[in-house]
Chains A and B, each alone.
Chain A
């Protein structure tokens, strides 16, 4: 049982508080959407989970096989080695390395090195476009392909839980649909556990099982069933209405 639990998290930058008392959880094999418009704290929350921002209060816990680890005391690379992996906003690929080198880089961390060939084959069979372009420089691919590569790179670390930060940013609307569909298919076929932050709400809730709304740094709604969300209520939640 893999679970990500966030308890009463507060965080900010210097004297500017961004997150206030945020609690949420992601359970095994769920695709949970974290909905919020720009500047409401989504990226800060994901950066806290990945260890790039240290929270001022609260806990982030990763549970697997009856074990629990507090992530807040770890460096980002250690968090990845514990099985929590991210597809970051802006993708953060290494543009001057080939597709295969980007994948192998992630697959070579000591925790997963012995599975590198297996993981690489899995990525290539899941995303044939990456196999076709394995010698191409990552920076020379289209935005949609780079997003696929960022997802595949994340899979190279054999993650227990995946965090995806705004997969739609910087992509043409038609590609956004494809990327989100890809994430959904991947999740269904492999039973991955995914937390996805998104501001294209309607596309995100069409594939998610549960959803949280984040406005002004607080969780304003928790929707147990993403399929039955009342769109007007979601819009009010985005504006911070209780």
Chain B
């Protein structure tokens, strides 16, 4: 028998783990858009590339988490290459135009999706792990491990990133470049190098986000599209550049979506992120965790 309290508790716990998984997808955008001010709408598509990377490593017998770790340096280099292309195309001619960069990344996103579909077909791909299929039962709460395991990725990544940004010289430089790249030049630091490095880190998070996504459920080439709106809402709502805020806001949105699915209808839940975004930005335009400018 399911009591209404059980439904409530399960809606909250599912919301928290879902939100944490959203955070692992949004984190890269929190860096590229929130810190570097580059509207990288291709990030969710890169997350799908990450998911496919994890899938193919799985075919070779590598577990999803190990595959994500192997993927980190690969995706870091991919991100640096992507930034070099971007800065050569746009930033060299002075300040990049937001509309131009948006178009570039939108196009990139389409190209990535189509390449994946052409190479590997459009059918669903999934990974198999011992924990997929079983659940953790804690009193009234039932939590499938396929949600619980990937939900741990975001807190770990965000903790590590926070330490990196606040405890190392290059981390400090990344926080500085968000504000003013001339301040970096004056300090004898190459702002282009720092931005490329930060873009590399952002792209490296995509393989972890992809692992989270494919452990959670099967993935197809166009799955990233459904995430674009949500991840932008999370980054903007958190306040541009707030890394821990990304996790808190993602969990808020996860809980809200989970409540809408549990009590109203699942088909409304994709709109929840935007409803919260509109309401919250009316009250706090700088985002929930953003500094006032």
Residues on A facing B (Cβ under 8 Å)? 50-52, 75-77, 80-81, 85-86, 88, 92-97, 101, 104-106, 108-109, 111-113, 153-154, 156-157
Contacts and interface: CB of A to CB of B under 8 A. Distances in A.
Interface stretch (B137-145, B149-157, B175-183): B175-183
Contacts of B185: 50-52, 75-77, 80
A109 B189 contact: yes
B186 A88 contact: yes
B100 interface: no
Contacts of A95: 179
B88 interface: no
6 contacts: A80-B187, A85-B188, A96-B179, A96-B291, A97-B172, A97-B175
Contacts of A80: 185-188
A86 B188 CA distance: 10
B188 A77 contact: yes
B184 interface: yes
Given A104-B172, A105-B172, A108-B173, A75 B190 contact: yes
B92 interface: no
**Which 3 A-B pairs rank lowest in CB-CB distance, beginning with the nearest?**
A109-B188, A80-B188, A108-B169
A16 B40 CA distance: 36
Nearest to A94: B176
B183 A94 contact: yes
B183 A93 contact: yes
B209 interface: no
Given A52-B182, A77-B184, A105-B184, A96 B189 contact: no
Contact of A105 (B176, B182, B190, B291): B176
Contacts of B180: 92, 94
B186 A109 contact: no
B191 interface: yes
Nearest to B178: A96
Interface residues of B, number: 18
Given A50-B186, A105-B172, A108-B169, 18 more contacts: A52-B182, A76-B186, A77-B188, A77-B190, A80-B187, A86-B186, A88-B186, A92-B183, A94-B179, A95-B179, A97-B176, A101-B175, A104-B172, A105-B169, A105-B173, A105-B183, A108-B173, A108-B189
Interface of B: 169, 172-173, 175-176, 179-180, 182-191, 291
A81 B180 CA distance: 19
B214 to A, nearest CB: 37
A64 to B, nearest CB: 16
Contacts of A109: 187-189
Nearest to A111: B188
A202 B147 CA distance: 71
Contact of B172 (A52, A108, A154): A108
B180 to A, nearest CB: 6
A116 to B, nearest CB: 9
B63 to A, nearest CB: 38
Nearest to B241: A96
Given A88-B186, A95-B179, A77 B291 contact: no
Contacts of B175: 94, 96-97, 101
B209 to A, nearest CB: 27
Contacts of B179: 94-96
A215 B50 CA distance: 60
Contacts of B182: 52, 76, 88, 92
A153 B190 CA distance: 16
Contact of B187 (A50, A96, A153): A153
A34 to B, nearest CB: 18
A96 B191 CA distance: 17
A159 to B, nearest CB: 10
A109 B183 CA distance: 13
